[in-house]
Amino acid sequence: MVDNYGFIRRDVAAVMRDWATGDVVLTRFTRAAAATETPWVPGEAMSVDYALDARADGTIAVQVPGTTVQMTDLVLIASPVARRVSDGVEVEIVPVEADRVTVDGVRHTVKRVEALPAAGPPALFKIHLAS
């Protein structure tokens, strides 16, 4: 499959790196693989932190009516390229509602993630955060 949006993702990542605001860290919770001797016992819970190049904005009135979005919520516009905090390696990441996002030291719950464009590999994400 040909990736027609690869160059756009690289361009968006570069622009977001220049226009990012604040310190934004996405925390993903996972489990280690189960031991082969006891596959019925889940692996140890762990988390991985990713530094995001993102711009944090407030919500606008258009986003509120008929939804769970509140005027005090935040919207992040984020690049799909992130850096693992532990070693600085760049990775492509797709945020999900189970993740937690810390913006300037304040932890938020992810309410909704919109990938843009809606089909194909995303060039950026709009991440709606609970206040």
CA distances from 53 to 2, 27, 67 (A): 26, 14, 27
Strand partners, 100: 27, 109
Render pLDDT for 4-59 as a digit per residue (tens, 0 to 9).
667 777 777 777 777 777 789 999 998 888 888 988 888 888 999 999 988 887 76
Render pLDDT for 69-121 as a digit per residue (tens, 0 to 9).
666 778 899 988 899 999 999 999 999 999 999 999 999 999 989 998 888 78
3-state secondary structure the chain: CCCCCHHHHHHHHHHHHHHCCCCEEEEEEEECCCCCCCCCCCCCEEEEEEEEEEEEEECCHHHCCCCCCCCCCEEEEEEEEEEECCCCCEEECCCCCCCEEEECCEEEEEEEEEEECCCCCCCEEEEEECC
The answer to whether 61 and 23 are in contact (CB under 8 A) is: no
pLDDT at 18: 73
pLDDT at 108: 94
All structural domains of the chain with their residue ranges = 6-129
Q: How confident is the model at residue 1 (pLDDT cuts 50, 70, 90)?
A: low
Question: 100 is written with which tokens?
Answer: 């937690």
Higher pLDDT, 64 or 123: 123
Reduced DSSP (H G I as helix, E B as strand, rest coil) percent helix, strand, coil of the chain, to 5: 15, 45, 45
